[in-house]
Amino acid sequence: MIKNVENSFLKDYLLNEKNHHKDNGIEDVVREIISAVKESGDHSLLSCINRYEKKDLKSVDEILFDQNFLEDKFNSLNKKNKEMLIYMANRIEKFHKKDIELFREFEDDSVEKYGYFKRPIEKVGLYAPGGKAQYPSSVLMTGVLAKLAKVKDITVMFPGKIDDLDLMFASSHLIGAKRVINSGGAHTLAAIAFGTENIESVDKIFGPGNSYVSEAKRQLYGEVGIDSLNGPSEVAIIVDKNSSIEYAVKDFLAQAEHGEDSRCFLIHLPGFDLNQFKKSLEKNLSISKRKSIIENALINCCSIDANSLNHAISLSNLIIPEHLEILIDNIDLDKMPEIRAGAVFIGTESSAVMGDYCAGPSHVIPTGGQGRFSSQVSLNDFYIKTSFMVATKNSYKKNGFKALLDNSISIAESEGLLEHANALKERDS
């Protein structure tokens, strides 16, 4: 059901897997979609929706929903669902609002003041996956941050049938979305990147999606800002002889049900009963209502043996997974800086599923090893940060202002930028 990969071959296994996915033709397909929507706007968008999302729309208006519609959807929810969404939103806000620091200034002995200020991005597009299920959590994980940052114009996008998406629409109301576009895929991202006759462009796109969405974000970067290239969901689970086999199995299945392209890695220390794990995995899969999705996902999943916790962490660091679970108690938290992963869940009672919903941190996390250079979405991603300095006549009284001028002049001259030097010499006269 799942492969066994020798730990000494893990690096080669990951490289081969990466090369395989590069050859799947997605890049060319997405390029054609983006080009068509850029050139023909609503016409191409409608054509793509009908083709890829299996709809029969006559007008783009059929997928656009305003704030009144979203409010009605929220008000129509039962009490339990309302409270569930509000609880999740409050947990996310509680974690992230500690990052709010919009202005800082400092003084030194060279200039009057310097520092930075931050302003919210004006218009953002928040993508949430759909089709096989509805994910209000994905709307809230980015939308609560956008609202907290006071973004003025929020557009939410997700595919699926309208009648199955009440929680998605209601979540969009909670985060103050101005509109919802009920479509997904590369075509929708192209539409909000360039704008169409009926869809306004945005400044930055956030949110996870499938391989086509991730590739569209890659190709659209520069035309519009993006958070990161969030591809198929993944987890690495480190277990030892004391870890619960059933916990590991259930978390494995939870990750696999995201989609057929999800990836799961079980890194097991000596004493863990791998055979029992596999038996339990088969048993649980046989009764799962999402068996077909999980079965296909498990093709991408594997087990890896490790001889110690340090060895297990080093193997996980080759993967740099989106989620890392260490289902072991009494972990030395001083080791945390050594771990390379998007989000880490430590202890026998921890689960990445907690991070998917109500733990607090965003579940929009880099995948496919991109955690080596990018981070999970945070409040700062919704701001533009600008530095400033103040130098007035009073700066000449500062002990260091003359040194700042002299050294800047010298550096400019060494670079051959003589007018740069002259601009400062004029101030030094």
At position 13, the amino acid (one-letter code) is Y
State which fold the 232-372 domain adopts.
Rossmann fold (3.40.50)
Query: Which DSSP state fits 334?
Result: G
* 251/325 Cα distance (integer angstroms): 9
Relative orientation angle of helices 79-96 and 136-148, to the nearest 10 degrees: 50
State which fold the 26-226 domain adopts.
Rossmann fold (3.40.50)
So what's the pLDDT on residue 285?
Answer: 95
Contact assessment for residue 335 and residue 38, using Cβ atoms and an 8 Å cutoff: no
Could you tell me the two tokens for 246? 């059933």
7-13, long-range: CB < 8 A, 24+ apart: 7/304, 7/305, 7/306, 7/311, 7/315, 10/304, 10/315, 10/318, 10/319, 11/318, 13/302
* 312/304 Cα distance (integer angstroms): 9
Of 89, 359, 127, 121, nearest to 230 by C-alpha is: 127
* Domain parsing of the chain, residue ranges: 26-226, 232-372
Would you write out the chain's pLDDT as a tens digit for each of its 429 residues? 798 888 888 988 888 877 665 556 899 999 999 999 999 999 999 999 999 999 999 999 999 999 999 999 999 999 999 999 999 999 999 988 877 777 888 888 888 888 888 899 999 999 998 766 788 999 999 999 999 999 999 999 999 999 899 999 999 999 999 999 999 999 999 999 999 999 999 999 999 888 899 899 999 999 999 998 877 789 999 999 999 999 999 999 999 988 888 899 999 999 999 999 999 999 999 999 999 999 999 998 999 999 999 999 999 999 999 999 999 998 888 777 789 998 999 999 999 999 888 878 888 888 888 888 888 888 999 999 999 988 988 888 888 999 999 999 999 999 999 999 999 999 986
Helix (H, G, I), strand (E, B) or coil at 67: helix
Helix H or strand E segment including 357 = none
From the candidates 258, 323, 325, 363, give the one annotated as an active-site residue: 323
Verify whether residue 323 is a known catalytic residue.
yes
Could you tell me the two tokens for 42? 């609503």
From the candidates 322, 325, 419, 426, give the one annotated as an active-site residue: 322
State the maximum Cα–Cα separation within the chain, in Å, rounded to a whole number: 83
Verify whether residue 322 is a known catalytic residue.
yes
Work out the burial of residue 55: count CB atoms within 10 Å of its CB; fewer than 13 is exposed, 13-18 middle, 19 or more buried. middle
Of 291, 342, 334, 290, nearest to 310 by C-alpha is: 334
